[in-house]
A and B are shown apart, each in its own frame.
Chain A
């Protein structure tokens, strides 16, 4: 990858950039402390944090790009790649794992036809494994966006994913 690819922001939506600028300008106090918040807002606006957007934020805040990239790659909530409409997180904490979370994960990957952390072709799903989310009593646990599914068996997965594919995700 060349420097120029990172400097070029022509593929980023101008209106969204203007909105981001506005939010950056309203920072009070230390910019370094505001970095995580600004990255959150950038991800909410653009859906994910491509390299050129990270560099854009770095320049606006007067920080080195490496610092911004370090923060983005540290927190699993930030994504450098486009994400599906639904983020499916399978808990891989100890309790979930011993109760078969890996089988649940594999089943979900099979049904969505994707790899971990890569958006499915239909743009609907990004599947990821996560560390303990603190709901061990419900193990194994899967979250899809803000919704929590507990005691998930591999055989339950087909039904859940089908509902999201059909678009009636809020139907229980």
Chain B
């Protein structure tokens, strides 16, 4: 019997409703125009698992039939149910739950990194909390600032378990788990190890859903301010594609509004000497990766070839699939390519000592911070990238510098490493890297010009997608996965011999980089991610050039400096290696 089709009747504040069996009280409330407050609840719909732990009790309502308070996020409506969301009992129940949470919270809102972005803070206002009636013991855990990417402050943890759901159910990384019991319970790492001693990939999805500041990015802005104010340093900045369709949200624009020009102007105002575009690096990555793919196909090299742009994914495969380390492309990420070329090609051209260059990248990503730390990503002792600033951190810097973002003129990137195509632009969304690479690989393999540039079969938000593309006589079998749990499925299928692909794109975050851990908080609204992705495809649509190998500056860098795709010099500057790591 299919229960889903069965309609039942319930009453929300005496409003009669007909709902499907299996509807939560929370969703029934929405139908009746009641927005029941929630805190631990998180539903990413098509993009992820639901956190329905019913831990916080902030969403309690009164069941008139039993007189009990019930958590609306996890209780399902039954036929004839009478729900009161605004009875004194329900309102006071919610207040009590929240006051109890607040009684054990540091309440340092004024100096907290989540100030004005904190869901606990917002609820305290929404529920009109003006006094906290409960006093009691407070948590006293050490703050973990061991990693360069994420700071974990368990004293701000309200045990909503959203991070645990993301880390275990969506990403299958399993670094976070509820530890201990009763008052001591905390979302922690195995044996309370510091984060940098665990198998954390730094994907930052825990950060992007944490309602408080128990998990937050480690800010690089103090270092960047210092560099900008050091007259002896030449500070170069690069901006990833997904930043330009999201940063506007921090300044009152809608998700998906494109603010590339204003973003460049803001960076110049902040004092960066040179402003490059990571999309240039993406275009270069496409050319190098397409060449590598063609070489692997021709020489029966290891297939499938997996993309290697996503640093959380790279950490994941090193720790969880150490026997598959010959499958990722050896290409560095676009960020590292732009970094490597800034400190070599650009330094030579501009007559700047590479030692004096500070390379800052603006990324939608928390993991890029730890990528910048990888020893493999440096030349002659100089890191390709010095500091990584997330979209959120950059928005804070712009506000701190009192720049009126909305009135800024449209700026343009500096040439040399600033020209971009539509192909590199769509790197910021799931399916984009493989679509961009396919446009180039098609022409490399067939020697013919591509008619239709869009590969619509590669687009979408399903977790795992596959497509076959005709490239002359040969069919190119392409796979795509976003979110690491989906990547695991695909890799396990390859290990079992059940899946056969030539190329696979993997991104750790839901929707790709547009849903990165460093982006403005989506607060569970996934339509924001969809609009950011649509904006990237729109930029591609209206771009003059839409194939990476048509980027005139990519051609120029090969002519001037790198010789040809896959050359010895390109291998040295633009490629990297991977090493197996023990999983904890």
Contacts and interface: CB of A to CB of B under 8 A. Distances in A.
A3 B197 contact: yes
Contacts of B582: 3, 7
A73 B182 CA distance: 11
Interface stretch (A57-65, A87-95, A110-118, A146-154): A57-65
Nearest to A68: B190
Interface in A1-18: 1-3, 6-7
B183 interface: no
Interface residues of A, number: 21
Interface size class of B (residues with CB under 8 A): 20 to 34
B290 interface: no
A113 to B, nearest CB: 26
A6 B583 contact: no
Main secondary structure of the interface of B (DSSP, over half): loop
Contacts, number: 66
Given A1-B191, A3-B193, A54-B191, A64 B175 contact: yes
B193 A55 contact: no
A69 interface: yes
A51 B198 CA distance: 14
Nearest to A67: B177
Contact of A55 (B178, B179, B584): B584
Interface in B191-211: 191-194, 197-199
A74 interface: yes
B174 A67 contact: yes
Contacts of A76: 181
Nearest to B172: A64
B165 to A, nearest CB: 13
Main secondary structure of the interface of A (DSSP, over half): helix
Nearest to A72: B179
A87 to B, nearest CB: 18
B180 A66 contact: no
Given A3-B198, A3-B584, A73 B179 contact: yes
A70 B161 CA distance: 13
B161 to A, nearest CB: 11
Contacts of B173: 64
Nearest to A1: B193
A67 B179 CA distance: 9
Nearest to A52: B191
10 contacts: A1-B193, A3-B584, A55-B584, A64-B584, A66-B198, A67-B174, A68-B190, A69-B179, A70-B177, A70-B179
Given A3-B198, A66-B584, A70-B177, 9 more contacts: A1-B192, A1-B197, A6-B190, A65-B584, A66-B174, A66-B176, A66-B198, A67-B174, A76-B181
